[in-house]
Structure 1
Amino acid sequence: MMKIILSFMVFMVSLNAAEIYATFSIQAKKSANLAFYSSGIVDKVFVDVSSKVKKGDKLVELQNDDLRASLRMAKAKLKNAEVSLKFAKKDYDRQLLIKDLIDEAKFDKYLFTYESANVALSSAKANLAYQQSLLDRTLIKAPFDGIIFEKTVEVGDVVSGMMLRTVFKIQSQRDRKLILEFDQKYWKKVKVGNSVKYTVNGDKKVYTGKISKVYPYANSENRKIKAEVKVKNFIVGLFGDGYILVPDDK
């Protein structure tokens, strides 16, 4: 009974709507080509093709023992700078209380030591941030939740800063989008929210969706305009066709 009612509703909508033919390809909602921007030798590969990853997961790492040692030294220098500033401030605060009772040149020495400690601390923080950034360049992490669909790196590979290359390709795991193309003469009719009925090549089922985005330009070469429909679970790269339902002018 429910199927009959739904079919009747679709039939009624079709009576009051014009159909605009469109073709489409299926793309991932998110995708990215990941590459190092530092040179080195690949030390660890944490994932493979079809690996499902979470945002921030480690994917691949270059040899970086020297940078880790430099980072530890930078942290130690920062700790020393913090201690030096702590005692310099104590000395300065004590002298500040008796400033009018001591020689001005002597007070200036404590002030100079305190200010120098402040500068040293700022320098230590900057150095730590710099060393951390160098280490971060040896590691690629997942930029979003997704699935690895291409891998071109193995342990022992050399990565050169003169010839950086994509080592992983990642795409959203389930979220997809149909990239529709329709004739530009319908630019006034097709709007966000229009219903779309479509089929994917190799699948006889008729699917439905709604336009979530209309691109604000027409391709001058093929005279087509693009639009998007949010979908899930289709294989990226598939294509198909269907119809955009718009209000009938009649």
Structure 2
Amino acid sequence: MRFKLLILFSSFLISFCHPELHSREALVSVERVSKAKTSFVSIESNAKAIDEIIIKSEIEGKIIEIFKNEGDKVKQNEVIAVVKDIKYLAKYKSAQEKLFSMESKLKKSSLKLERFNELFSKEIISNQEYEEALYDHNSSLSDFNSLLEELKQAKIELDNCYIKSPFNGIISNKYINLGEFVSKDSKIVEITNNEKIEIPLYVPKNYLLFINEGDPVEVQLSGGRKYSSKISKIVRKIDKSLGTFLVKIYILEKNDIISGEDVVVVLSIKPPINSYRVNKDSVNNEDGKKIIFKVKNNIVYPVEIVVVDLQDNYYIATGQIKENDIIVVDGNESLRPNQPVKILRYLK
């Protein structure tokens, strides 16, 4: 009898010390699952003019006229400055005269060849005489072509005395002064067209699957200025050292954005289909998996989820969950599958 009482007492102690052996009701706080919504990400960048160029001198000489200064607007093909052209004008006229002289010689050799060709066909002149006439004509033609190229080059150099803008814009930098000597490749001016703006964005790689070309964006600038635009280009290559990929925004309509100006671009991040917001506190990490507990009829069931994004204190996740599912947010650390629970409160 004493032995049986000892066994019963031991069982009672084990039961008391290990209540998990019995199915007990856990006290939990819960929250309803909601559908994932579009989120917004702000990324800082700098505006960059698509058309921006430093014009360099193609010739050497003295600056004798400057028509534009920093901040001035220029139109395409408008003259900005002039290099003294006396040397290049003389070179051009000399090339013209030599070409005209050679043109006259070429006409004579052409007429002679035509006449000799007829005489040779009638066997009035020898083959050697015909070959000599042909050689003279070909030599004159070669000299004419060489002089023609020389004239073209002289014309280019003469035109380069008049430094022009390749597109509409403003003079953003001026590197010359009146009367100074410039050599070939000397900087003359920098021209910027702020009407065509490119904004490069370096976006975290976890958003690569959630944005597409054509998605709307908002460009925010100082002074409360805003522009609506869209994603123009996505370079789908991840920079492993930075963990980002490149996105480009183009603003091609008229604007007051200045090249080099700081901007903030707000991207719309669309969640995947059938993805949901799951409170971070509801997630247990078990063997590399993310587990939540769904509540149904006051019983909990473990469900694995896949996290695709993080928004504030919520994961954006997919898995065997749906909108309005009730999940445990507080008290989930020690839950077991199929354990009964008592809901103390709904957090949402």
Q: TM-score range by the shorter chain?
A: 0.7 to 0.9
TM-score (norm 2): 0.60
| Cα distance in structure 1, aligned partners of 2:58 and 2:200 | 32
| Cα distance in structure 1, aligned partners of 2:263 and 2:65 | 40
Given the alignment of the two structures, is residue 56 of structure 1 paired with residue 77 of structure 2, yes or no? yes
Q: Identify unmatched segments of 5+ residues in structure 2.
A: 1-35, 276-348
Equivalent position of 1:210 in the other structure: 230
Instruction: Answer with 212-221 or 38-47: which moved more.
Output: 212-221
Q: Is the 8 A contact 1:22 1:241 kept in 2?
A: yes
| Cα distance in structure 2, aligned partners of 1:56 and 1:217 | 39
Given the alignment of the two structures, is residue 107 of structure 1 paired with residue 127 of structure 2, yes or no? no
**Equivalent pairs, count:** 233
Give 2:173's match in structure 1, choosing from 144, 150, 155. 150
Relative contact order higher in (CA < 8 Å, ≥ 6 apart): 1
Q: In structure 1, what residue type is equivalent to 2:76?
A: K
| Cα distance in structure 2, aligned partners of 1:221 and 1:140 | 44
Deviation at 1:122, TM superposition (A): 1.3
Equivalent position of 1:92 in the other structure: 113
Deviation at 1:141, TM superposition (A): 2.2
Deviation at 1:221, TM superposition (A): 5.7
Given the alignment of the two structures, is residue 199 of structure 1 paired with residue 220 of structure 2, yes or no? yes
Deviation at 1:70, TM superposition (A): 0.8
Q: In structure 1, what residue type is equivalent to 2:181?
A: V
Equivalent position of 1:187 in the other structure: 208
| Cα distance in structure 2, aligned partners of 1:160 and 1:74 | 23
Q: How does 1:125-144 map to 2 (within 5 A)?
A: 125-144=148-167
| Cα distance in structure 2, aligned partners of 1:58 and 1:236 | 23
| Cα distance in structure 2, aligned partners of 1:207 and 1:173 | 14
Q: Is the 8 A contact 2:211 2:270 kept in 1?
A: no
Q: Which has the higher helix share?
A: 1
Deviation at 1:218, TM superposition (A): 4.6
> Could you say what secondary structure the match of 2:90 adopts?
helix
Larger Rg: 2
Give 2:146's match in structure 1, choosing from 123, 126, 131. 123
* Aligned-residue RMSD, C-alpha: 2.5
| Cα distance in structure 2, aligned partners of 1:49 and 1:216 | 39
Equivalent position of 2:260 in the other structure: 237
Q: Identify unmatched segments of 5+ residues in structure 1.
A: 1-14
Equivalent position of 2:188 in the other structure: 167
Q: Is the 8 A contact 1:195 1:246 kept in 2?
A: no
Change in 2 beyond 3 A, CA 1:58/1:182: same
Deviation at 1:89, TM superposition (A): 1.0
| Cα distance in structure 2, aligned partners of 1:46 and 1:213 | 39
1:90-131 Cα offsets, whole Å, 9 max, x none, are 121112112111233333332232122111211211221332
Q: Which has the higher strand share?
A: 2
Deviation at 1:72, TM superposition (A): 1.0
| Cα distance in structure 2, aligned partners of 1:123 and 1:151 | 38
